[in-house]
């Protein structure tokens, strides 16, 4: 396998599998955050909704607190932008290993910190300061992952939430049924639809499997996304070692 500077940049069977596993990882992380402190973590929309609800209920402190958490998703996207997008634009090798390494270490921190009671009881009240810390860390993870995959796939793939992927799948299905009336390369669309379905399946499967594991093991279930994140960290290190520079390569 080639894990060079084009690491996860094209819709191929190998990359589809990698994206599906990342979606699975995000599904586990998302259900873990929901069951640990009753909030979604892999998309910002839910935080905006809870902010509006808290304002309507006159819970202004809680509203400000919940609004601050998705800023860590933004921070994660900015970190990935500096590590991946900026370096690509400069003609340098993206630092995948730092991006995926950060994801691994952050999820490992959540796993071990939860087992050490750093975030309070699993499934406890959101008023617990530890719950906000947990949400912030998980949002940071999702921001880094989403920003990294978005950049390397040229904004084609998202793995931490399903709204855009489901929209693209719906459009792709219509394109397939209207293939005889279009000059669009249907082979590319079919390949993309398989990829979109795989991501949706991965996220849903991760959420379902994660729910069972978190119900049984509480914070201990974060070991699963820690293992998958470690795998991607290893692949990213391999990509870095095999292709240390792309200054003289063609534009991606």
pLDDT digits over 10-21, tens only? 788 888 999 999
DSSP conformational letter for 38? S
pLDDT digits over 21-76, tens only? 999 999 999 999 999 988 888 777 777 787 887 888 888 877 787 788 889 999 99
pLDDT digits over 124-136, tens only? 877 778 888 999 9
Return the higher-pLDDT residue of 8 and 153: 153
Whole-model pTM above 0.85?
A: yes
3-class secondary-structure state, position 56: helix
Tokens of 91: 């003609």
């Amino acid at each position: 396998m080639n894990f060079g500077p084009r690491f996860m940049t094209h819709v191929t069977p190998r990359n589809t599998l990698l994206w599906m596993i990342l979606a699975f990882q995000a599904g586990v992380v998302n259900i873990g955050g929901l069951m640990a402190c009753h909030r979604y973590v892999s998309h910002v929309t839910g935080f905006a909704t809870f902010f509006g609800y808290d304002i309507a209920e006159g819970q202004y402190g809680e509203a400000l607190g919940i609004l601050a958490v998705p800023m860590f998703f933004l921070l994660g996207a900015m970190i990935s932008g500096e590590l991946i997008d900026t370096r690509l634009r400069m003609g340098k090798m993206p630092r995948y290993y730092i991006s995926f390494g950060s994801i691994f270490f952050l999820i490992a921190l959540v796993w071990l910190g939860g087992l050490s009671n750093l975030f309070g009881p699993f499934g406890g009240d959101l008023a617990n300061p530890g719950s906000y810390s947990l949400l912030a860390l998980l949002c940071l993870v999702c921001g880094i992952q989403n920003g990294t995959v978005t950049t390397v796939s040229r904004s084609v793939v998202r793995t931490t939430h399903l709204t855009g992927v489901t929209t693209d799948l719906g459009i792709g299905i219509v394109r397939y049924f209207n293939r005889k009336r279009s000059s669009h390369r249907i082979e590319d669309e079919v390949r993309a639809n398989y990829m979109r379905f795989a991501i949706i399946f991965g996220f849903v499967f991760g959420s379902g499997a994660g729910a069972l594991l978190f119900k049984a093991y509480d914070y201990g279930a974060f070991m699963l996304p820690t293992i998958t994140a470690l795998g991607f960290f290893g692949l990213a290190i391999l990509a870095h070692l095999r292709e240390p520079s792309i200054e003289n390569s063609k534009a991606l």
